[in-house]
Structure 1
């Protein structure tokens, strides 16, 4: 996967303004096709263009290729990560843990589980996933480091392991619906409080 950066972020040359409506139609077409069962491998620019009602050239003027378009589409699907307030390590972790596996777009429930095998099979798709999820990990990493710096959390804390301990339960519950009797409304608080018992400074 050679290009992981959206051309939407690149400077544009002077000329006719870009159509926001076309951008939206292309992103929506990509997500619709994935939700209907298309794999990343089978998904084509031709199919996306046909669903969006635009020409292939319109897509290539906006994105360098399918990988860049997928990056933007999946970011849209995930939504904007919540921003910690910075007042309480616990409250910030509850906020971030509550966002793990949570998507307001109903298509995510059909798309995300289907991406797992493709991510595992393809190094390129694995890197795509990493690029999408890393900004969310960065937010949690910063909260945990703040807790270490303030003395709230153990000085020898393994930050990366702590993130896995916090994120794993929410991910397995929301993606796999592992235990139907767990109340997801309070699960983020229960997970954070349980894990913090082992992370707090003694």
Structure 2
């Protein structure tokens, strides 16, 4: 499994979890996040994953984890952020090209590999308002990138002036996520999926 770069939603909010005077250890961070991936990939549910199990898998003490994450839920969400990687950057040449790039980024081999892990997290996100709030904090910057492309398209006249940006965002990202995680409709070809999805949406969204 490829090494991951951890991205902490809590750190981005200015919450430092390390003990005073003790610098963060990037290798320990990576080992902890990788341990979460390994446990979820082995079939354990998010409920079943414990801090103790993660610590044992990563070869660190529980205190090392708690210096970085206040609880298991925060650790799981940071794992999701690490799976998704850095935010994509639209080129800006055309709305169609940028949307295809964004949808393709959701369905690359990296995301397909971690789709099962995301599925394991969904029940915990659904039942916990706090987990859902934190998870939304991870996803919202990615929505904002696509939202920006749609708004730009309205401003340039490529898209309809009365376009419902939020609904269009859902129509683009929802099918991509479902096909990626569970191959919801096997009748939809995988080849050129992003192009076909974007073109289908643009038939109604284009100016």
Q: TM-score range by the shorter chain?
A: 0.7 to 0.9
Cα 1:76–1:103, aligned 2, differ >3 Å: closer, same or farther?
Answer: farther
User: Contact 1:7 / 1:62 at 8 angstroms: preserved in 2?
Assistant: no
How far apart are 1:200 and its partner, in Å? 1.3
Q: Specify whether residues 107 and 88 from structure 1 end up closer, same or farther in structure 2 by C-alpha distance, changes over 3 A only.
A: closer
Partner of 1:147: 153
Distance in 2 between the 1:198 and 1:108 partners?
A: 32
- Gapped regions of structure 2 (runs ≥ 5): 1-7
* TM superposition shift of 1:32: 1.1
Select 2:137's aligned residue among 115, 118, 131: 131
CA contact (8 A) 1:7 1:63 kept: no
What does residue 91 of structure 2 align with?
A: 85
The 3-state SS of whatever aligns with 2:136 is helix
Aligned to 2:74: 68
Give how far 1:198 is off: 0.8
Q: Determine if contact 2:158/2:206 at 8 Å carries over to the other structure.
A: yes
- Structure 1 residues without counterparts, runs of 5 or longer: none
Match of 1:30 in 2: 36
| Secondary structure, aligned partner of 2:67 | helix
TM-score by length of 2: 0.84
Q: Matched residues in 2 for 1:31 and 1:146: separation?
A: 37
Aligned counterpart, 1:159: 165
Q: What is the aligned counterpart of 1:174 among 176, 180, 203?
A: 180
In 2: Cα distance, 1:193 partner to 1:23 partner: 41
Deviation at 1:144, TM superposition (A): 0.2
Take 2:36 and 2:79, find their aligned partners in 1: how far apart are those partners?
A: 7
CA distance in 1, matches of 2:159, 2:89: 21
Aligned position for 2:4: none
Q: Do the aligned partners of 1:78 and 1:103 also contact (CA within 8 Å) in 2?
A: no
Aligned match for 1:6, one of 4, 10, 15:
10
Q: TM-score scaled to structure 1, two decimals?
A: 0.86
**Number of matched pairs:** 198
Task: State how far apart, in whole Å, the 1-side matches of 2:121 and 2:194 are.
Answer: 24
Tell whether 2:100 aligns with 1:100. no
CA change 1:66–1:60 in 2 (3 A) is: same
Instruction: Work out whether residues 79 and 103 of structure 1, in 8 Å CA contact, stay in contact via their aligned partners in 2.
Output: no
Contact preservation (8 Å) 2:112, 2:180? no
| CA deviation after TM superposition for structure 1 residue 135, in Å | 1.4
Contact 1:84 1:92 in 2 (8 A): yes
